[in-house]
Structure 1
Amino acid sequence: MMTEGMFTNYFLPGIWITIQVTVYSALLGVVVAFAIGVLRTSRLWIVRFLAGCYFEVFRGMSSLVLMFWLVFSLPLLLEWRLVPMFAGVVALGLTYGAYGSEVVRGALAAVPEGQREAGIALSFTRWQRLRRIEIPQAWPEMIPPFNNLLIELLKGTALVSVITVADMAYAGNLVRLGSNESAPVYTLLLVLYFVLAFVMTRGMRVLERRANAGVGKPQPRGGLLAKLSVRENAGEGSGALTAGGAAK
């Protein structure tokens, strides 16, 4: 039977490991996404070709198989072994960074051409145009797809349990074997992943509102409740107008 001690001794450390793997992989993925995404917009065809090769290779590669290769095959080639958690972070970061590079490339391509021409007219270098004009305008458009990738990355961290990283999935498997109860353990895992994903989504929504406000596109707060309130107010207003018209 699953007890409170099992949650404290297994699940809590597993939650912390999952958060660490997610954060480290996300940081690596963001660096890779911006580097490859920007290179894919280069005017030099060879740069675009090499960046495109990276994108195609890692987009089509299994994260789990890449982890196995880093943990079991790479030591045979280089005669030194990676720490399993480090291998998991590298595999996830490189893979999801490839997905993110398409987000960066698409957002940069959506910046109006007139903005780039204005930067050229001001004698900005390529880096200055990216830093001062293109990325600030493209950043708000990147956040929603980045949010989806972050949630997928969180769920993808369960793969590291296969290479003996003691994340939530690994802890859940140990508790299941010790308590001989599958339903409560896996139900709790589902709830924990949902809670972490929900918290991350709320944080990304705050970041999205601030990014939109930075480029002059503030968004209303309150989500669905605010929309319902606006609709109710609009309905009351239209009702009042109708009544006024009937009175006339």
Structure 2
Amino acid sequence: MHWTEYLPSLMQGAWVTVQLTLYSTLLGAAAAFVFGIGKLSRNWALRGVSIAYIEVFRGTSLLVQLFWLYFALPLAGNAIGIDLRLPPVLAGVLALGLNIGAYGAEVVRGAIQAVHSDQHEAARALNFTERQTLFRITIPQAIPEMMPSFGNLAVQNLKDTALVSLISLGDLTFRAEQIRNFTQESTTIYTMLLFMYFGMALVVTAIMRLLERFAGRWRVAGS
């Protein structure tokens, strides 16, 4: 078979990979801000939950997290009489998003803490509340500092999507493995797979650099 005959199936898998990357990156970004800010909260309960989430998801394997959500969670649900079965796409998005969000939370925390104390003193002089200071002063200045690390995490998240093939989700890696098993053309298939992931990584990198540039202009405009 000619390599072009593999493209339709691989493109179908690539579309699944793109969706997984998009949804899990958005979930991860949301989790990063919620738990990154939560880790700095004066509320001990919120801080404790945030720290627990970050440490658990950073301290355990993404593969184990994926297997737990897809295989173990339904069994735990059955034990208490609740149906907790997750569709493969949802399990994949949750595992990827929550995992990358834990790393992103540390990025958010570090960027917020890096904002100069003079900014907080100026906010107090203007009688800003803590909430106003956080959302009007601290976060707008911290976001540009987060963007390079967020770009790296987004690319890493794209590459991590290959793990969902292990729960029989028809992503790019799963489709490639199906074709390889059928044709036994390992060199051709894996070379195509390598270049397709590389191409998608370049697109993700370009998008994140555009966002980084936009955030940089935001910082200049607000300075």
TM range (shorter): over 0.9
Q: Is the aligned partner of 1:85 residue 2:84?
A: no
Shift of 1:193: 0.6
**What's the counterpart of residue 4 of structure 2?**
4
Task: Indicate if the aligned counterparts of 2:180 and 2:186 stay in contact, CA closer than 8 A.
Answer: yes
- Aligned pairs for 1:170-185 within 5 A: 170-185=174-189
Q: Percent identity?
A: 49
CA distance 1:94–1:125, shift in 2 (3 Å): same
- Aligned pairs for 1:73-222 within 5 A: 73-79=72-78, 80=83, 81-216=85-220
Corresponding residue SS for 2:60: coil
Q: Is the aligned partner of 1:64 residue 2:63?
A: yes
Q: Can you list the C-alpha shifts for 1:175-197, whole angstroms capped at 9, x where unaligned?
A: 10121100110111110111111
What is the CA–CA distance in structure 2 between the aligned matches of 1:169 and 1:106, rounded to whole Å?
34
Aligned residues: 216
Q: What is the letter of the counterpart of residue 172 of structure 1?
A: A
Tell me the C-alpha RMSD between the 2 structures.
Answer: 1.4
What is the CA–CA distance in structure 1 between the aligned matches of 2:13 and 2:37, rounded to whole Å?
36
**What's the counterpart of residue 52 of structure 1?**
51
TM-score (norm 2): 0.92
Shift of 1:45: 4.0
Q: What is the letter of the counterpart of residue 152 of structure 2?
A: N
What is the CA–CA distance in structure 2 between the aligned matches of 1:149 and 1:39, rounded to whole Å?
20
Moved over 6 A (4+): none
Shift of 1:132: 0.9
Shift of 1:51: 1.4
Task: Indicate if the aligned counterparts of 2:3 and 2:188 stay in contact, CA closer than 8 A.
Answer: no
Q: Can you list the C-alpha shifts for 1:154-181, whole angstroms capped at 9, x where unaligned?
A: 0000000000110000010011012110
Range with bigger deviation, 38-47 or 203-212? 38-47
Q: Can you list the C-alpha shifts for 1:85-129, whole angstroms capped at 9, x where unaligned?
A: 110110111111000000000000000111112222222222221
What is the CA–CA distance in structure 2 between the aligned matches of 1:57 and 1:119, rounded to whole Å?
35
Unaligned segments of structure 1, at least 5 residues: 218-248
Unaligned segments of structure 2, at least 5 residues: none
Task: Indicate if the aligned counterparts of 1:147 and 1:201 stay in contact, CA closer than 8 A.
Answer: yes
Task: Indicate if the aligned counterparts of 1:61 and 1:95 stay in contact, CA closer than 8 A.
Answer: no
Q: Can you list the C-alpha shifts for 1:35-72, whole angstroms capped at 9, x where unaligned?
A: 01001112334433331121111101111111111111
TM-score (norm 1): 0.83
Range with bigger deviation, 197-206 or 163-172? 197-206
Q: What is the letter of the counterpart of residue 7 of structure 1?
A: L
Q: Can you list the C-alpha shifts for 1:5-53, whole angstroms capped at 9, x where unaligned?
A: 3311x10110100000001100110111000100111233443333112
